[in-house]
Structure 1
């Protein structure tokens, strides 16, 4: 008691932080539920509060009581209550963590009887893997059990000859947890590949045969993953936006600050709706854009002008591709600073001295330079394909121009933009690569699939979760980034 008095902490606060009043086997369950609830409810409450403040600012000049108080409280309470729904993310987190701790003991006893030929450490590792596999399977099935209107459709029954009977049936689809599954698969692959490469490096260094090429591969793996993932994401954003989450697609469009008529014109080039040298009724699309940017209407007519001038890509910045690229960088850097600088300053509020403020500004400036370079390389890649390099390599005849504007110019921008990650620090590259990789995977798998195949997703998720959680318990440093540190705290 004296020690507690000297430290300024009472027994209750110490117990609250360490969960010492809860049995050790249940502590991961409580921590997981708390983190899951905070991550599920916190962002929604913050969004609601920001919307509320924005509305109050607009109504500041109005008289009388704000009639929106009741609806705000009702919305906040609904968000708080829904977080406790057993079919939602917090319970899923508790089930996943609980299986890794509660089921471990019984599985070890079973394996001691049926797998006596294995050594003790192997049996422990296998028990951990099986415990997480079972809990992950059950947890994902719990999320699947909640109906979602976005993955439910009403279809009219048809006969074998194609005639409609008039009766309808409700059809359910799987895929609502696909982003979570792809995130887990990416982490599991990172753990497996990282461990194999670590063992390879240890053997090579022990034999004094570690080469500069192998060291370069070690340093470049994260930038390469980020660049390839970014290429898939940007290609999908341009041509197949439905493959990206709606909010993510909206954010990219906002950052790109592009005239949607230009995107639509290049999409129509790819899908052969806009054809050079032919009147396919597409002239008004870019013709109106030419009028807005004080160019002749005919410059946007694909029957007359082959190809349409790159000045349209520059959207008012003049004919120079290089000047447009520089202008893009400056505008994008400023736009990004409005996001990154407040966040960087917020992390330094605990010690707001001059040195920390300078570090916050430099960190925000560096991240803004990364985003500005990303956007600049994408646009300049389009210009390289259309004007600077493409015609000299492929040709400048009508069919070559159709090929260039039908995908090659956009593909060049997609290939180049991701290499901007080299501006960031090595630790940031790691987190960014792990962030975009599952989103890139999502562009090559169907967002919806027959519900009968849902067991396949559950199997993949459970196996991947078992790999990650087993590694967290045995070699936590192998699970890289913020997730590794968070799981280390939860499973402690």
Structure 2
């Protein structure tokens, strides 16, 4: 499935662009369609991100190892906390019942100098949100701000050198590179922050007031609702990026999200499906390059343009 991703992404984009052009030419492009056109890329990105983050949290084997490693590096979370929530999801860790799970988070409590009782699901129902904050105190809002600052600093170290390399070596180029790096770093920092704050919203701020505060409700929240809320919120950070960049990001993550739902390898008798999609998508991309090369942007567009030149 990975080899087909670039062609499929550009195929979908081209179909939508051509439909829009026909509707505008016929004066049938409505306000609703205009709104959908603006929201389709953020929605694709947010939905794809939700699927990817859900898979990263509960089913990491569905993602490529390098991708899982990069997300883990950006998330900067204690693996014991993830494991505790996974065990809640799988039913191994149950509030109010002795199932032998206390040592997992109690070791974390010892490292952070918290009361050992915080890590015992029999005594602490639910685990304090301070455990999720990992040393940032009890305030969910302060933890969110702290996450944004740390994530932005981590991101800018990566994005700024890359943007500087891609721009002209003058003052104008430096300014453009700096603004682009700040925007991209803010987007990634907001992505991480919204994920964590979504967890806090479900566990502490809103969840208990909507779902309930009894043991069963607390189990439901930590069983998947808190992570699901974070997954739902994080992808909307893409609105920070420019419209053109949103499209690129949406079409970058969509195939990876699909890979969490579809098999990564097809049996021999079903590989014709992948071959057909690849052939059809390639035909669309090649036709687009011949008719209007500007629609296939980036290095891929330049490469195909050079290859298909008479």
- What is the TM-score of this pair, normalised by structure 1? 0.60
**In the alignment, what sits opposite 1:340?**
159
Instruction: Give the distance between the partners of 2:296 and 2:21, measured in 1 at CA.
Output: 13
- Residues 1:279 and 2:98 are matched in the alignment: yes
After TM superposition, list the pairs within 5 Å mapping 1:68-467 onto structure 2.
178-204=1-27, 210-348=29-167, 351-467=168-284
Kindly state the Cα deviation for residue 183 of structure 1 after the two structures are TM-superposed: 3.8
Instruction: Give the structure with higher Rg (CA).
Output: 1
Structure 2: gaps (5+ residues): none
Deviates more, 1:240-249 or 1:186-195: 186-195
Instruction: Give the distance between the partners of 1:394 and 1:489, measured in 2 at CA.
Output: 58
Instruction: Give the distance between the partners of 1:470 and 1:456, measured in 2 at CA.
Output: 21
Instruction: Give the distance between the partners of 2:236 and 2:299, measured in 1 at CA.
Output: 23
Instruction: Give the distance between the partners of 1:478 and 1:344, measured in 2 at CA.
Output: 22
Which segments of structure 1 move beyond 6 Å, counting only runs of 4 or more? none
Deviates more, 1:385-394 or 1:181-190: 181-190
More helix by share: 2
Kindly state the Cα deviation for residue 472 of structure 1 after the two structures are TM-superposed: 2.2
- Contact 2:55/2:260, CA 8 A, preserved across alignment: yes
Instruction: Give the distance between the partners of 1:481 and 1:199, measured in 2 at CA.
Output: 25
User: Residues 360 and 480 from structure 1, CA distance in 2 versus in 1: closer, same or farther, beyond 3 angstroms?
Assistant: closer
Residue correspondences, number: 309
SS at match of 2:229: helix
SS at match of 1:199: helix
- Contact 2:192/2:234, CA 8 A, preserved across alignment: yes
Q: Deviation string for 1:43-99 (max 9, x for gaps)?
A: xxxxxxxxxxxxxxxxxxxxxxxxxxxxxxxxxxxxxxxxxxxxxxxxxxxxxxxxx
Instruction: Give the distance between the partners of 1:183 and 1:243, measured in 2 at CA.
Output: 20
SS at match of 2:122: coil
Structure 1: gaps (5+ residues): 1-177
Instruction: Give the distance between the partners of 1:269 and 1:481, measured in 2 at CA.
Output: 44
Q: Deviation string for 1:439-487 (max 9, x for gaps)?
A: 1111111113323322232222212222222222234344455534442
SS at match of 1:448: coil
- Contact 2:159/2:184, CA 8 A, preserved across alignment: yes
User: Residues 443 and 318 from structure 1, CA distance in 2 versus in 1: closer, same or farther, beyond 3 angstroms?
Assistant: same
Instruction: Give the distance between the partners of 2:285 and 2:44, measured in 1 at CA.
Output: 19
Kindly state the Cα deviation for residue 278 of structure 1 after the two structures are TM-superposed: 0.9
- Contact 2:9/2:252, CA 8 A, preserved across alignment: no
Instruction: Give the distance between the partners of 2:299 and 2:92, measured in 1 at CA.
Output: 46
- What is the TM-score of this pair, normalised by structure 2? 0.94
Instruction: Give the distance between the partners of 1:313 and 1:200, measured in 2 at CA.
Output: 49
Instruction: Give the distance between the partners of 1:277 and 1:417, measured in 2 at CA.
Output: 31
SS at match of 1:443: helix
**In the alignment, what sits opposite 2:304?**
487
Q: Deviation string for 1:317-367 (max 9, x for gaps)?
A: 00000000000000000000110111111123xx42223222221211111
Kindly state the Cα deviation for residue 389 of structure 1 after the two structures are TM-superposed: 0.7
